[in-house]
Amino acid sequence: MSTDCVTATLQDNVYELAVLMKRHDIGFVPIVEGSKLIGVVTDRDLVVRGYAEKHSGSTEVATVMTREVKTISPEETADEAARIMANNKIRRLAVVEDGHLIGIVAIGDLAVRDIFVHEAGESLSEISEQAADTGQLSHH
């Protein structure tokens, strides 16, 4: 989970969001009031709800914002996050506690986690096999 989230507010406009996305090399910006999550804007939202609808860069964020945001609590597992992403065909999931944004889980975070879990499992298997081969593995 990333906790250093780039966010915007309803006072921002479509152009300012595009600049934020370019500057930070991101395609997902949570929209907050204080720290309360009220929506998100993706790069696709800017295209489909913004430019394809002939809205200018000065268009308010609310026009392109997704209000029905899928979220997860910090107590949920990475497996649950992956299930929500898969079921909803989304690549990013806001982590919210009591309505307040505390982080973002991206599909890439889960992929990296799975690689480490897989590698750790392989390493443990190799260690166990080596110990068994040398007779160092005790069976109780």
Q: What angle do CA 106, 109, 111 make, to 5 degrees?
A: 110
Question: 108 versus 40: which is more confidently predicted?
Answer: 40
Average pLDDT over residues 74-91: 89
Please tell me the predicted confidence (pLDDT) of residue 36. 95
Please tell me the predicted confidence (pLDDT) of residue 121. 44
Q: Other CB atoms closer than 10 Å to residue 2's CB: what's the count?
A: 14
Question: 108 versus 17: which is more confidently predicted?
Answer: 17
| pTM score of the predicted model | 0.76
Average pLDDT over residues 60-85: 92
At residue 117, φ and ψ (nearest 5 deg) are -60, -45
List b or e across 12-35, with b for residues whose CB sees 16 or more CB atoms inside 10 angstroms. bbbebbbebbeeeebebbbbbeee
Under a CB-based contact definition with an 8 Å cutoff, are residues 66 and 40 in contact?
Answer: yes
For residue 27, give the DSSP letter: S
Q: Which long-range contacts (CB under 8 A, 24 or more apart) does 123-131 make?
A: none
